[in-house]
A and B are shown apart, each in its own frame.
Chain A
Amino acid sequence: MWWKILAVVLLIYVFIAGLLVPLKPGLVRISPETAKTGQSVTVQFHGYNTFYGKSPASEIRAWLEYDSLHATAAADLKVLSDTTLEATFHVPVNMPHESSTVMLNAILDHPVDGVSLLPGALQLVKDTVPMVGAGTWVDNPVSRLHIVKDFSYPYRNVIYESIRNTYFHVPMWFALIFLFLASVFNSLKYLRTQNIDFDRKAVAYAEAGLLFGIMGLITGMLWANYAWGKAWSNDIKQLMTAVALLIYLAYFILRSSFDEPEKGARLAAVYNIFAFASLIPLLYIVPRMFASLHPGATGNPAFGSQDLDNTMRLVFYPSIIGWTLLGFWIAQLRIRYQRLEDRVVGID
């Protein structure tokens, strides 16, 4: 009983914290997006969740960064509103390394908002006519940054607010694996004992696992629609997930195609164990052989240290526990329902 209350409490916490905690301030874009060497350019910074007006312009610093050793600082900085500010840069005449065009990162340091970074923000083109400009590349320039610690989620370009989907999409797969493991475990026990109750449990856990798989696929498609531009892009992860769900649909069809329920239960238990073993290469080996847009595709773990910060962990781990417990709760209801139905029919 206590774990059902825990599931409810954790999920309420996940929904409230997951949806209400704000993102950290960040840079959405800068304009103009191109500049020439030797030019003086006035760049507008557009921020998200920022409060530029909260501190005087003299304390705000901005850079255009070439690499970790070379950057040029803003000469003049004006705050237009809480989400826009204007900075003038004197772009140096020469590039640190010889190239015709290069992407510069924009970095903004604000005493209240902290640091925000926009990678590849500005395209710097080498001017063919040599000019004499005032600007220079400063060595090891970006330092003494304001690191603001507060309860907020990281701001990431491309995914923005959809980072909250981490608490819904990812736990579905954890719950699915736990439920399928429980299903396989009960199938094994059924084969050893021939006790029909283990078969009921195996079916119920597989059903709940399938439900979580479908939910995981749907939340993934919503996220893909936002971050990849299309809900279904035939990504190898999506395809393999669909195939994995087909395996379990086949399991239910196999169960129902026997005249004697006892025989169906036994062969379905065998197939369940066999299918789970082939699920592992399907979800963890095959996707790494193909190019994929999904995090964790090319050999790295799906969740590296840069994907989760400490604030997110505070919601992410409870969400895994909460959703998994909810899955077991759903399965439990199915098991009890099936027991009653079997008693009415007179099987048990």
Chain B
Amino acid sequence: MFVKNLIILLRKEFLLEFRQRYAISGIVLYVFSMVFVVYIASIKVQPQVWNILFWLIVLFASINAVVKSFVQESGARQLYYYQLADPVTLLLAKIMYNTLLLLVLSTLAFGAYSVVAGNPVKDYPLFALIILLGSLGFSIAFTFIASIAARANNSATLMAILSFPVILPILLTLVRLSAIALRLIQDTSYKRDIINLLAVDVILITLTFVLFPYIWKD
């Protein structure tokens, strides 16, 4: 039952995205514009700067991609969903969908960024793992914050100020790990960082499931 609902809800998210193509194309264009702004503003990008700018691009694109997951559908329709399905299933579907979306977005950003600013990545398997972990962490934190911010009056501002402090430990760990993948720093014990990152993800997702039932009720 749970899995069946989850699949139906996931399908709904994909359908919605497919039918409102302007949203996803807007985000993709947003990523490309940011990449080009970075390129034009700093023609030659050093690997250290490349690393930080890449994660900033992914961070801002992720916020803009996720914030719409609760804002785009009206309150009445949301209430209707909550009557049909368990809210936690609904949230899980959104998190899974957003993870996939962010994974696609960061891969696109990486591709475009490599074309214009060069590609200093040395350890591809590690870098792919980091992008996956980053998409997962961003998706959990931003989806949950978006569900809070969507109910307030100034959701766009709130989304930024609520999520930046929460995302910071994840972001700093990602920047550090990807510096290892770029061979900017030597660290053989980076597995501990990956475990830290996963631990933060587990804490966040547990809290999300415990707290979400209190958010959707009006």
Instruction: Tell me the A residues contacting B by CB distance below 8 Å.
Output: 191, 243-244, 246-247, 250, 253-254, 257-259, 263, 266-267, 269-271, 273-275, 277-278, 281-282, 285-286, 289
Contact = CB atoms under 8 A, between A and B. Distances in A.
Interface of B: 144, 148, 151-154, 158, 161-162, 164-166, 168-169, 172-173, 176, 193, 196, 200, 203-204, 207-208, 211, 214-215, 218
B168 A277 contact: no
A304 B209 CA distance: 39
A278 B158 contact: no
Given A274-B166, A277-B203, A281-B196, A258 B153 contact: yes
A267 B193 CA distance: 32
A257 B165 contact: no
Q: Is the interface of A mostly helix, strand, loop or mixed?
A: helix
B168 A243 contact: yes
B211 A273 contact: yes
Contacts of B168: 243, 282, 286
Nearest to B166: A278
A259 B169 CA distance: 32
B148 A270 contact: yes
B173 A275 contact: no
A271 B165 contact: no
A286 B197 CA distance: 11
Given A263-B151, A281-B196, A285-B196, A273 B162 contact: no
Contacts of A269: 214
A281 B200 contact: yes
Contacts of A246: 161, 164-165
B166 A275 contact: yes
A286 B172 contact: yes
Given A253-B161, A270-B214, A271-B162, A278 B153 contact: no
A258 B203 CA distance: 28
Contacts of A286: 168-169, 172-173
B146 to A, nearest CB: 12
